[in-house]
């Protein structure tokens, strides 16, 4: 357990979230290299180094490591985010702030795509949008339980039971109505666009943009984490305080600032790739 700026933390949760966000950033960077820079110009640059890097990125995207690894680290990210709701003083405000950041990302990427003709960079409902909606929906349920059951001596068990029931229900709905993450990874399979908002809940072709995370199955993962929080972290303390130390900083620091790390590294990575591209080829690709 740590106390930073008046906020109690469990280092193991920060470390898991840090690992997950670094892997997500790695995944997105490989996509940018393979499908934006390599396909947009490196492939024809005659520069052997750029071509090998681009081919490596494409090989990664078609590998078993990504096929089976991506669902695991995305599960970790949403699961830990759900668990961390126990440490937040105001989940509604936390979700609202993240929603504003997500809307800003949508606005910026729309301008980049439509005004600067930078290709398929628009993000309509990505990981930040999905996480923000998860937190806001959870905050509403949390407020309802506080209003109706907070005086019970079994309150934390009631919360855990309700959250677990929600997780099971969400995953059943996902199983019966949505495509699997395996199908998404291998063939970009989607469900029909039954209504204009179907894509907010399930994978649909009409909502597919540069980054796409519908509510399901990820809200189910989030609620699994939320369900264990009242049991394991009711005291808002680390379960492994004796193992905390400087050795885990390379994971806990990204975990504490995961959203900022996600946004910053994305911008830095693409900027560096542009600079390298220009330095090596004398061109900057505004890909389409």
| Residue range of the domain that includes 222 | 2-281
Instruction: Give a yes or no: residue 217 inside a domain.
Output: yes
Report pLDDT for 205: 92
133-137: which pairs have CB atoms within 8 A and are 24 or more residues apart? 133/95, 133/99, 133/200, 133/215, 133/219, 134/78, 134/81, 134/82, 134/95, 134/215, 134/218, 134/219, 134/222, 135/81, 135/85, 135/91, 135/94, 135/95, 135/98, 136/92, 136/95, 136/96, 136/99, 137/219
Q: Looking at the whole model, is its pTM more than 0.75?
A: yes
Token reading at 37: 């820079």
Assess if residue 287 is contained within a domain. Answer: no
286 domain residue, yes or no: no
How far apart, in Å, are the Cα atoms of 84 and each of 79, 81, 89, 95, 132?
Answer: 9, 5, 11, 12, 13
The answer as to whether 79 is a domain residue is yes
- Report if residue 185 sits inside a domain: yes
Supply the pLDDT for residue 281: 74
The closest alpha carbon to 216, from 172, 160, 248, 262, belongs to 172
Q: What is the pLDDT of residue 284?
A: 64
- Per-residue confidence of the chain (288 residues) as pLDDT tens digits? 444 445 668 999 999 999 999 998 899 899 889 888 887 778 887 888 889 999 999 999 889 999 999 999 999 999 999 999 999 999 999 999 999 999 999 999 999 888 877 667 889 999 999 999 999 999 999 999 999 999 999 999 999 999 999 999 999 999 999 999 999 988 888 999 889 999 999 999 999 988 999 999 999 999 999 999 999 999 999 999 888 889 999 999 999 998 888 888 888 888 888 888 888 777 665 554
pLDDT for the residue 8? 66
Query: What domain count does the chain have?
Result: 1
């Amino acid at each position: 357990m740590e106390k930073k700026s008046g906020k109690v933390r469990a280092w193991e949760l920060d470390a898991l979230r840090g690992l997950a966000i670094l892997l997500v950033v790695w995944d997105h960077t490989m996509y940018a290299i393979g499908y934006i820079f390599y396909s947009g110009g490196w492939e024809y640059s005659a520069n052997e180094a750029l071509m090998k890097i681009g081919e490596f990125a494409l090989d990664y995207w078609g590998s078993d490591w990504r096929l089976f690894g991506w669902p695991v680290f995305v599960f970790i990210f949403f699961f830990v985010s759900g668990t961390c709701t126990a440490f937040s003083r105001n989940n509604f405000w936390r979700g609202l702030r993240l929603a504003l950041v997500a809307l800003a990302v949508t606005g910026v990427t729309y301008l980049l795509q439509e005004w600067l003709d930078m290709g398929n960079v628009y993000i309509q409902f990505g990981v930040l949008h999905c996480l923000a909606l998860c937190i806001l929906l959870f905050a509403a349920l949390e407020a309802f339980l506080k209003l109706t059951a907070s005086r019970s001596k079994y309150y934390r068990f009631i919360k855990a039971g309700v959250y677990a029931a929600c997780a099971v229900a969400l995953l059943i709905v996902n199983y019966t109505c949505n495509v699997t993450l395996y199908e998404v990874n291998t063939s970009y399979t989607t469900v029909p666009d039954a209504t204009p908002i179907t894509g907010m809940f399930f994978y649909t072709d009409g909502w597919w943009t540069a980054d796409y995370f519908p509510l399901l199955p990820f809200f189910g993962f989030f609620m699994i984490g939320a369900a264990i929080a009242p049991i394991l972290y009711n005291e808002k303390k680390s379960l492994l305080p004796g193992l905390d130390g400087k050795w885990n900083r390379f994971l806990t620091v990204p975990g504490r600032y995961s959203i900022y790390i996600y946004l910053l590294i994305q911008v830095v990575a693409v900027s560096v790739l542009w600079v390298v591209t220009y330095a090596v080829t004398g061109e900057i690709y505004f890909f389409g």
